[in-house]
Chains A and B, each alone.
Chain A
Amino acid sequence: MSSYSIQSTNLTKLFGRRLIFKEINFNWSDRGIYGISGPNGSGKSTLVKIVAGLIAPSQGKITHSNSEGEIIPEKLHNHIGFVSPYLILYEEFSAWENLKIFAEIRGVLFNDEHILFYLEQFLLDTRKDDLVKTYSSGMKQRLKFLFALMHSPEVLIFDEPTSNLDEEGKKVVYDIVREEAKTKIVVIASNETKDLELCSEVLLLEKFK
C-alpha cells in the first residue's frame, strides 16, 4: 500500500488580475481516485499542472510526501505520471523510440517486457515502430498513457483522460484507472460524467471562485 500524500494549503491562482480559483484545500493520501470538475475555464488544467509541479501557485502551497518525507520539486517528475490533451510527444520518433528516450532521460530502467505488455493493452503493439506523426489522435492519446505509466509513478494525473478515444479505448483507460488506483493516487480532471463516476471524491472548482 502506498504511503504517498498530496496536500494543498490555501491554493490560489491568478493569471494577471484574473482570479482562476482561490483557497483550495485538500489532502489526498494513500490510494484512490480523486476527481476535479468544473465548467470550461474554471481552472481544471491549471490545478492539475500545479499539482504536478509544472506551474507555481500565486498563493498557497502544494506538498508531495512519501514514506521518506517531503519530495523536493527537483525530483517530483519521477513520482508523477501525467496525461493531458496539451501533452505532445516527439513526432519525429516512433512510439518505441519515444518511450526508450523517456526512460533514458528519466534515468529509469527500460523494461522491454513491461513496455510490450502496456503496448498490447493499449492496442499499439503493431504500430510501435511507426513514427508518432503517422498516428491518429486516439492513438496518440493512448501512447500518452504509456508515457504516464512506464516508470511506475506513485501518482497518476489524468487531465481529460478519455478525450479523442473511442469506446474501446475508453474501456481500456477505465480498466487501467481502476487497477492503478488499488496502489496509487489517481487524479482525474474532467467534465465527463463517466470519468467522474470512477472517483471517490470530486473537487468542484466553481466553489472556489
Chain B
Amino acid sequence: MIAESYSLFKKDFSSELRTRYAINSLAMFIIVAISVILFSIGNETITTSLTGGLFWVVIFFTAMSGLARAFVSEEERGTSLTLQLIASPSTVFSGKLIFNLILVFCMNLVIALLYSALFEKFVVQNFSLFLLTFILGNIGLAVSSTIIAAIIAKAGAKGTLYPVLSFPILLPLILTSVQLTLFSFDGTSFEEAKFELAIVVGYDVIMLTASYMLFDFIWKD
C-alpha cells in the first residue's frame, strides 16, 4: 500500500506543478496575510503572546485556503470515479495525506521564516520545543484538513463549509499549539510543557485513527 500511496502522491505532485491549483493560492495568501498584519501594526510593537497567536492564525487560514484542493480538485474535475477505480480507499487517503503533509510543512516553514525575519518578538528560546510543536502541529493540521476536505468535496458550498467545519475540529490543536509556541518563546522546559505536548500527540493519534476508519464511508457514495 505504501508504494501505491507514494505513486498517488507523485501523481498529485506532478498535477500540482502543471496546474498550480494549491501552490499559487497558498503563496498569495501567506504574502497577503502577513502584509496585512504588518500594515495594521505599523510602528507599534506587539507582545510575544500576540505574535505567537498571530503565527497560528496565519497558519490556520492559509491551510483553509489551499489544503482542500487535495479532494476538491478531483471532485471538480470529475476524476474521483477514476481514482475509486484504481486505488483502495486507504491508498487514496494515504496518498492525499502525504501530499498535504508536505504542502503544510513547506507552507509553514515559509511562514515561520517570514515571521522570524519580520517580527522582532518572534524569538524562540527553546528551539527543540518549538520544532516538536511545529512538527506535531503540522501533522495534526494535515490529517484534519485532509479528512475534512474529503467530507466537503462532495458538498455544494465547499468554500464556506471548509473553514466552518474545520474550526471546531482544529480548535483544540490550534489552542494547544499556540500555548506550546509561547512556551518555546519563554524558554519553558519539556518537563513543564509535557501536558500540552500530550494533548497534541493524543489529538494527532485520534485524528489519524478516526480518519482511516471513516474514510471508506466518506469516499464511497
Let me know if B79 and A90 touch, CB within 8 A. Answer: yes
Interface check B113, CB cutoff 8 A: no
Q: Which residue of chain B has the shortest Cβ distance to A102 in the bound complex?
A: B86
Q: How far is the CA of A100 from the CA of B89 in the complex (A)?
A: 20
Whether the Cβ atoms of A54 and B78 lie closer than 8 Å is no
Interface-located stretch among B10-18, B116-124, B154-162: B10-18
A93-123 contacts to B, CB under 8 A, are 93, 97, 101-102, 104-107
Interface size on A, residues (CB 8 A): 26
Size class of the contact patch on chain B: 20 to 34
Chain A CB within 8 A of B8 CB: yes
Distance in angstroms between the alpha carbons of A147 and B18 in the assembled complex: 22
Q: Is the CB of A86 within 8 A of B4?
A: no
B86 & A105 in contact (Cβ 8 Å cutoff): yes
B7 within 8 Å of A by Cβ?
yes
Contact call A75/B88, Cβ cutoff below 8 A: yes
B7 near A105 with CB under 8 A, answer: yes
Q: Is the CB of A80 within 8 A of B85?
A: yes
B221 A105 Cβ-Cβ under 8 A? no
| A91 partner residues in chain B, CB cutoff 8 A | 77
**Residue A34 is within 8 A (CB to CB) of chain B in the complex:** no
Q: Does A19 contact B (CB under 8 A)?
A: no
Interface contact B78-A74, CB-CB below 8 Å? no
Would you call A77 and B87 a contact (CB within 8 A)? yes
Number of A-B contacts (CB under 8 A): 70
Please name all residues of chain A whose beta carbon is closer than 8 Å to the beta carbon of B14 when the two chains form the complex: 93, 97
- Asked if B43 lies at the interface with its beta carbon under 8 angstroms from chain A, I say no
Contact of A92 with B88 in the complex, beta carbons under 8 Å = no
Distance A87 CA – B95 CA, assembled complex (angstroms):
21
Do A54 and B84 have beta carbons less than 8 Å apart?
Answer: yes
User: Hey, what's the 0/1 contact readout for A51-86 against B, CB within 8 Å counting as 1?
Assistant: 010111000000000000000001101001010101
Give Cα A150–Cα B8 distance, bound, in whole angstroms. 18
Q: Evaluate contact between A54 and B79: CB separation under 8 angstroms.
A: no
Q: How far is the CA of A174 from the CA of B92 in the complex (A)?
A: 33
A106–B87 alpha-carbon span in the complex (Å): 6
A149-B85 Cα distance, complex, nearest whole Å: 12
Set of chain A residues within 8 Å of B90, measured between Cβ atoms: 74
A54 B88 Cβ-Cβ under 8 A: no
From A52, A80, A105, contact of B8 by CB (8 A): A105
Contact A55 B7 (CB under 8 A): no
Per-residue CB contact flags for chain B residues 66-104 toward chain A (1 = under 8 Å, else 0) read 000000000001110110111111110001000000000
Asked if B11 contacts A54 (CB within 8 A), the reply is no
Cross-chain contact B78 with A106 (CB below 8 angstroms): no
Least distance between A155 CB and chain B CB atoms (Å)? 12
A104 touches which of B10, B77, B89, B220 (Cβ 8 Å) = B10
- Closest chain-B Cβ to A26's Cβ sits at a distance in Å of 22
- A1 at interface by CB-CB < 8 Å: no
Name A's B-contacting residues (CB within 8 A). Answer: 52, 54-56, 74-75, 77, 80, 82, 84, 86-93, 97, 101-102, 104-107, 147
Identify the B interface with A (CB < 8 A): 3-4, 7-8, 10-11, 14-15, 18-19, 77-79, 81-82, 84-91, 95, 220-221
**What are 25 A-B residue pairs whose CB atoms fall within 8 Å in the complex?**
A52-B85, A54-B81, A54-B220, A54-B221, A55-B220, A55-B221, A56-B220, A77-B84, A84-B81, A87-B85, A88-B78, A88-B79, A89-B79, A89-B82, A90-B15, A91-B77, A92-B19, A93-B14, A101-B7, A102-B86, A104-B7, A105-B4, A105-B8, A105-B87, A107-B7
Q: 8 closest pairs, A vs B, by CB?
A: A104-B7, A88-B78, A92-B18, A55-B221, A105-B7, A74-B88, A107-B4, A101-B11
